[in-house]
Each structure stands twice: as structure tokens, then as C-alpha cells.
Amino acid sequence: MSRVTTALFVTAILAAAIPTAASAGCYGCYVPPQPCGTCYQQQVVPPQYRTVEETVMVSPGRTIAHRTPAQYRTVMVPQTVMVAPEGVAYEQVPPQYATQERVQMVSPGYSYYAPVQPRCNSCGG
């Protein structure tokens, strides 16, 4: 039983003596499983946006028809004659445009791992 206890004690001391990522100065890093390797720290690039101005049609052009009644005049006292017949007058309304701004994503956000030089005593760093 004492051999098992001694082996556990020696293993605990050796595990504490081996330099880790924290002792190498790599806090919050990903360290690949290699002795005193390069630390990789996550870098985050936010999404990029831009404002785009574009011309939009607010209302389309249209034609409005106005009815014009016939015109009559009295030529002589007992007689009324038509001077102009009934007709239609057309009014053209041009389309209305406006400038509208909208936000457009240029590139989505992403993250990557960049190497960070460790500061450990056993690697000479």
C-alpha cells in the first residue's frame, strides 16, 4: 500500500513541476499537445457594414382622365346649339422618386487563432 501512495505522491510532484501553458505566460490560449509549443490565442474580427444610398420609386407615374362636358350656347333666342362636343382631357402625373439609405453587410464577422510567443524558462522564450 505504501508503494501506491508513494507513486501517487511522486506523480503529483512531477505534474506540478512540468511547465504548463499558464506557467509559460499563455493565459486563455490554446496550446497544442507538444512541449513548450507556440500558444494560439483567439482573435475576433467583427462584421463590416457600409451604408448604401439608392433611388427608389415612391409612386409610379399615371394618367388621369378628366371628362369634359359638352358646351352649348344660345345663338338665337329660341335655339341652343352645341359649340364643343363632350370629350376627355388627360393629365400626366410623373413618377415620384426618393433617395433611401440602407445598411449592407460587406463581410461577416469571423474568428481565427493567431500564434502568441510563449514565455517559458525551459524553451529559452
Q: If 0-12 CB within 10 Å is exposed, 13-18 middle and 19+ buried, where does residue 31 land?
A: middle
Cβ(39)–Cβ(115) under 8 Å?
Answer: yes
62-92 pLDDT, tens digit per residue, is 999 999 999 988 887 778 888 889 999 999 9
pLDDT, one tens digit per residue, over 19-69 is: 554 444 555 565 555 555 567 888 999 999 999 999 999 999 999 999 999
Q: Where are the domains of the chain?
A: 1-46+118-125, 48-108
Alpha-carbon span 82 to 111, nearest angstrom: 84
Q: Are 101 and 51 in contact (CB under 8 A)?
A: yes
